[in-house]
Amino acid sequence: MGAEMLTKSIMPIFLFLVYSLFEVERQHTLVVTLLNWKSDMMVYHGQIRVISRFLNDFFKKTTDACKGSLKPTSCPLIAQPPKFTVVSGEKMRIGCVWETLACLTSAIMVLNSCTTAAGEVTTCSGIVPMVYRNDKISITDFGGIGDGRTLNTKAFNEAIYRIKHLRRRGGTLLYIPPGVYLTQSFNLTSRMTLYLAKGAVIKATQNTANWPLIAPLASYGRGRERPGGRYISFIHGDGLHDVIITGENGTIDGQGGVWWNMWRRRTLQFTRPNLIEFKDSRGIIISNVIFKNSPFWNIHPVYCSNVVIRHVTILAPPDSPNTDGIDPDSSSHVCIEDSYISTGDDLVARNIWWGV
């Protein structure tokens, strides 16, 4: 919090301590009442008006900033900023001073935390800059075939290998043209954009037998559903930075039905795969993509920072087990906005470490 902010937040409290007594009139309306019970502390209406105008400006500014900030949910006052009005008279209600003061202080603290966040970034999506990449490759350059039957695992791996090792300045965009690209799970790399054209579908294979296993997360100590390892997410990112998944609302389809049935029949050996997981990563944008029928959770950022998820659509049948929409997990600066989520379980569930 900057010195200016500090002064701004302490000033009103100080002024009110000295000059006035106020009460919470309606839900979000604080009414300033003149406290002129000490003759040597003459307070004029004008001064109070200045203070209340200052406070109103202050709240308006902070709540406006708050609307575009990282933590809109931490701003309970955002919908209706408190309004200060001046009431003349000599009301004295000593009893409610401390209560009201506590309320005001916490309100200012909440708004301050929003303002601090908003001071660094003006909108939610601004926490990760959208990068435009000059170097572009298409999955078809690597033998990708979008016929819905051909397995494209090799094409994805080779395209991403090329991005990782050629290291073009500014990163590389991998274009997925319209078509249905069946594939096993694959790993992303840093400084890449996975771009799904309109009508492009990246579809997970239903062959669960060959699905790779990875170690459980350290903070869980075991798989989320079953002991031991866990199936790697369909699209996976580990230790990455500057990754964008976007396009013209193409689809990432997990074909989760086979996994849901294994869960229902209790034949799962290990924890089901998430549709997308980023682990120990930063600077991630996921936008304008449709996620469909995830085997388990849809989007799982874990131990990540600076993740923006916006304009996404997440769909799974209402009876599909544990198909959470977005599960930010032990991560910081995760921003989710303007998305449509309809799944079988939680829409957005914030997780923290468990098992430790």
Ligand X SMILES: *[C@@H]1O[C@H](CO)[C@@H](O)[C@H](O)[C@H]1NC(C)=O
Tell me which residues are annotated as active site: 345
Does 153 contact ligand X by CB under 6 A? no
Does 125 contact ligand X by CB under 6 A? no
What's the 3-state SS for the chain? Answer: CCHHHHHHHHHHHHHHHHHEEEEEEECCEEEEEECCCCCCCCCCHHHHHHHHHHHHHHHHHHHHHHHCCCCHHHCCCCCCCCEEEEECCCCCCHHHHHHHHHHHHHHHHHHHHHHHHHHHCCCHHHHCCCCCCCEEEEHHHHCCCCEEEEECHHHHHHHHHHHHHHCCCCCEEEEECCEEEEECCEECCCCEEEEECCCEEEEECCCCCCCCEECCCCCCCCCCCCCCCEECCCEEEECCEEEEEEECCEEEECCCHHHHHHHHCCCCCCECCCCEEEECCEEEEEECEEEECCCCCCEEEECCEEEEEECCEEECCCCCCCCCCECCECCEEEEEECCEEECCCCCECCECCCCC
Residue with smaller CB distance to ligand X, 224 or 236 = 236
Does 67 contact ligand X by CB under 6 A? no
Does 187 contact ligand X by CB under 6 A? yes
Residue with smaller CB distance to ligand X, 288 or 322 = 288
Task: Find the binder of ligand X among 14, 44, 340, 354 (CB under 6 A).
Answer: 340
Does 162 contact ligand X by CB under 6 A? no
Residue with smaller CB distance to ligand X, 32 or 307 = 307
Does 337 contact ligand X by CB under 6 A? no
Least distance (Å) from ligand X to the CB of residue 33? Answer: 48
Task: Find the binder of ligand X among 249, 255, 262, 321 (CB under 6 A).
Answer: 249
Least distance (Å) from ligand X to the CB of residue 249? Answer: 4
Task: Find the binder of ligand X among 118, 214, 217, 341 (CB under 6 A).
Answer: 214
Task: Find the binder of ligand X among 18, 248, 269, 350 (CB under 6 A).
Answer: 248
Identify which range of 2-10, 12-20, 163-171, 232-240 contacts ligand X by CB under 6 A: 232-240
Least distance (Å) from ligand X to the CB of residue 343? Answer: 15
Applying CB under 6 A, which residues contact ligand X? 187, 214, 232, 236, 238, 248-249, 288, 311, 313, 340
